[in-house]
Every structure is written in structure tokens, then in C-alpha cells.
């Protein structure tokens, strides 16, 4: 069965993580994504580990299901080839520093002249306007300047970055969503669209209750470890043989936990009888009361008891444990691909499951310039002599 984005062609000028994550999601669901890289150099992640025979597992994961060509966009002939490609495309995606595409001569207005229906999406650190627009950005900068680091970590420790690059993945997902919206609108109006997603905006938008606590109540949100600042008990807890997490989001869940603990007196205790009261009195007593009970039992014992009464519970798994977990296998969240020069490798699958459609990686990430001849010959109609001349001039 065909994937939902079959027939959509994307020109992918992105590198590193945020942009390639966006286009990977489009490719995973059927779009023809043509990744365009600098001749002889390519995406910076081609040098990022883990490396096998000089090929990057990082690059392989984030650029699967894509075709790949090389093109020098600073050369006039390279620009002409890119204009030819724009004529055939539905979407152009880039995450260059703000202003680079304009300097190359590819403002949205110029692309629109070439292809009126083109959808042009950008990811940048700070957006296309504002006093910080031209600054370069990586995820750690976005986490710092969105307020995220200020509320991550423990109260007696320094601000802390979240482990994975959430600024990249969230902004990539937002741009992917924006592209899908634009494709839908174009199907009704015939009009293309300019899309602008900033990493700092993205993380600021995901700050959940922290921002409105400040704007509505004047609070100054702070680091609180694994505790949720608005729900209690909702945290990591000690067991006899390690740590686990659970969250009681309702009075009913809290009452169930109290019964398990043989502390039904806590249910109507004015310190804990509402969620607001539990949050206010969590560190002054409630967490200690819970851990007096949890530290008498193993994680396996607690898991059986707590999940039986429908309270969300989780083991704190290591990466090897997640990789080998039966839930990961059943959900096909770890897929194999035969990556050229690397052999068969495993990588995360897509979390979007279209029932009845294939859930597999159809194509390994491209070697640098792997599809030059195919695309120039079969898509643009260039002859082999011309292709060889472009290669000799290092335009491709």
C-alpha cells in the first residue's frame, strides 16, 4: 500500500539535526526527499560518531529514505541546476544561518517566480526577524535561551541541559507539521507558502505550565528535579533496589496509593486532600511518607502493585534495556537497514504508525552524491556528457 506522502517531492538543503529530522519524517511517510550537499564535503554530521569504515551512524539514522546529490550553489551553473529542480518540487527545506539563501539568490519571492506553488520552510535558531535573527544556534543555546535549562535539574545544582537535542527534534517536527498544513492548503487554493520555525520559539512554546504560572500568578519557576511543579506525587522515588517513577494525576489515584501504603488516613488529611495541597506540602512531608513505604519493596514488587491499580509507573531504563525491551520490538521502534560501507545497522523507527501500511526503512541514507546521475538524467533530462562535465568542474 502507498504511503500518504507519495508523490510529494522535497528539496532538502538541511544539515545537522533539526532540518534533517523534519525531512526524515517526510521521507519516512512516502515523500521523495532529495538531499542536496556540498561537493566533496557534505552534511557536517557525516563526521559525527559512531563511525564505521568512515561512515556515520548519526547521518545514517537521520537521513534514511532520502536520495542524495551534491551541488555547488555558489556556482552559477549550480544555481541553474537548483532552479531546474525547484520547477519539479513541492517543498524546499533549509536550516542555514539566516540570510544565506538570500545571498545565494534564492529568496522566497524568487522561488515563487520559478514555481508559484512552492512551499519553502526554514528552521533557524531565533527566526527570520528580531535582534537575534542572524545568530547561529545549536540545541544547547536554544535550551538555554528558551528558559528550559533554568527549570531543568535539581534545586541545589546548576541549570541542566536535557539529554537529547529536543530543540532540534521539536523544531523539526513543528516544521514538518507546518509543511503538511501548507500542502493541504495548497491542495485547496493552489498557493504555496513561506514557513518560518525558530528553535527558541519552539522550546518556549513547549514550556507547559511554567510560562503561565509566571504570567498569571507572578511566580518565578525554578528547578525541582524530577518532580512535576503542578502535580503531586509525580516524581522519581527510591525502592529497595533502585529508583522508579510514578505519577498520581487525580485524587482517585492518590487514594489508591494511600490504600496500598496502608495509610488511608492521608486521603482526607488537609495537607494532602487536594492536588494543590499535595504540591504545597510535597517536600515538607509527603515524599518522605511515600518513600518510607517504597524503600521496603523492590521495583518489581512495586511495579506489580502500582500498575494493578492503574497508576502510571515506569522503570528507569538504560538505553540497552530500552533497545532490548519487548515493547520496543512489538512496536517496531528499532529497525534494521543495510547501510553502504557500514553493513546492517539498527536505528529508531517512526512513532507514527499507519495501520495497513509498511513500517520499515525502505532506503539507506545516501552516500555523498549517490544519486547525482539518476536525478540529473532522469528528472532533469541532462545527458551523460553534461553530467561528466559538471562533475569535472566540481559543480556536483
The model's pLDDT over 133-164, given as tens digits with 9 standing for 90+, comes to 999 999 999 999 999 999 999 999 999 999 99
Cα gap 56→34, rounded to integer Å:
19
Strands 242-247 and 313-315: antiparallel
Among 206, 208, 202, 207, residue whose Cα is nearest residue 21 = 202
- Would you say residue 375 has pLDDT above 90? yes
pTM: 0.94
Q: Where are the alpha helices (DSSP H) in 166-323?
A: 166-189, 199-205, 209-217, 251-260, 275-280, 287-294, 299-308, 319-323
The predicted model gives 40-59 an average pLDDT of 97
Report how far residue 14's alpha carbon sits from residue 19's, in angstroms, rounded to the nearest whole number: 5
At residue 356, the pLDDT reads 87
pLDDT computed for residue 357 by the predictor = 86
Question: Could you give the domains of the chain?
Answer: 9-205+328-392 (3.40.50.10540), 234-316 (3.30.1540.10)
Task: Identify the DSSP state of 366.
Answer: P
Average pLDDT over residues 227-239: 95
Query: Mean pLDDT throughout 375-383?
Result: 97
Question: What whole-number distance in Å separates Cα of residue 185 and Cα of residue 319?
Answer: 40
| 223 neighbors 152 (Cβ within 8 angstroms) | yes
- pLDDT band of 1, cuts 50, 70, 90: confident
Mean pLDDT across the chain: 96
Residue of 12, 43, 168, 371 marked active site: 168
| Mean pLDDT along residues 31-48 | 97
- Cα–Cα nearest to 235, from 219, 257, 218, 252: 257
Query: DSSP per residue over 59-107, as a string?
Result: HHHHTTTEEEEE--TTSHHHHHHHHHHHHH-SEEEE-PPTTHHHHTT--
- H or E element at residue 37: strand 32-37
Q: Is 168 a catalytic site residue? A: yes
Amino acid at each position: 500500500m502507498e504511503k500518504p506522502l507519495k508523490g510529494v517531492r522535497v528539496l532538502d538543503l538541511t544539515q545537522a539535526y533539526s532540518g534533517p529530522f523534519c525531512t526524515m519524517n517526510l521521507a519516512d511517510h512516502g515523500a521523495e526527499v532529495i538531499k542536496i550537499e556540498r561537493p566533496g564535503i557534505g552534511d557536517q554530521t557525516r563526521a559525527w560518531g559512531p563511525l564505521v569504515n568512515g561512515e556515520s551512524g548519526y547521518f545514517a539514522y537521520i537521513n534514511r529514505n532520502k536520495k542524495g546529490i551534491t551541488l555547488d550553489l555558489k556556482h552559477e551553473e549550480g544555481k541553474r541546476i537548483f532552479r531546474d529542480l525547484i520547477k519539479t518540487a513541492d517543498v524546499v527545506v533549509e536550516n542555514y544561518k539566516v540570510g544565506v539563501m538570500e545571498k545565494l539568490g534564492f529568496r522566497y519571492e524568487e522561488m515563487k517566480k520559478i514555481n508559484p506553488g512552492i512551499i519553502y520552510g526554514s528552521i533557524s535558531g531565533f527566526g527570520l526577524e528580531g535582534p537575534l535573527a542572524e545568530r547561529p544556534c545549536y540545541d544547547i543555546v536554544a535550551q538555554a535561551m528558551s528558559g528550559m535549562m533554568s527549570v531543568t535539574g535539581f534545586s541545589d545544582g546548576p541549570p541542566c541541559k536535557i539529554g537529547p537535542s529536543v530543540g532540534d527534534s521539536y523544531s523539526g517536527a513543528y516544521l514538518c507539521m507546518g509543511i503538511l498544513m501548507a500542502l493541504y492548503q495548497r491542495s485547496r487554493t493552489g498557493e504555496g507558502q513561506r514557513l518560518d520555525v525558530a528553535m527558541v520559539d519552539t522550546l518556549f512554546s513547549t514550556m507547559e505550565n511554567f510560562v503561565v504560572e509566571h504570567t498569571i500568578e507572578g511566580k518565578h519557576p525554578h528547578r525541582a528535579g524530577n518532580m512535576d511543579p503542578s502535580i503531586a506525587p509525580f516524581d522519581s522515588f527510591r525502592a529497595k533496589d533502585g529508583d522508579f517513577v510514578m505519577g498520581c494525576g487525580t485524587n482517585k489515584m492518590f487514594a489508591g496509593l494511600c490504600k496500598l501504603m496502608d495509610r488511608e488516613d492521608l486521603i482526607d488529611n488537609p495537607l494532602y486532600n487536594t492536588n494543590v495541597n499535595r504540591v504545597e506540602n510535597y517536600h515538607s512531608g509527603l515524599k518522605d511518607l511515600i518513600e518510607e513505604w517504597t524503600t521496603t519493596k523492590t521495583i518489581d514488587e512495586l511495579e506489580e502493585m502500582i500498575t494493578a491499580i492503574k497508576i502510571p509507573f515506569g522503570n528507569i531504563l538504560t538505553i540497552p534495556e530500552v533497545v532490548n525491551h519487548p515493547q520496543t520490538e512489538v512496536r517496531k521502534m528499532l529497525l534494521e537497514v543495510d547501510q553502504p560501507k557500514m553493513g546492517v545497522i539498527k536505528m529508531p523507527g517512526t512513532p507514527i504508525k499507519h495501520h495497513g501500511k509498511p513500517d520499515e526503512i525502505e532506503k539507506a541514507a545516501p552516500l555523498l552524491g549517490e544519486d547525482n546521475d539518476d536525478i540529473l538524467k532522469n528528472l532533469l533530462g541532462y545527458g551523460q556528457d553534461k553530467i561528466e562535465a559538471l562533475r569535472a568542474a566540481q559543480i556536483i
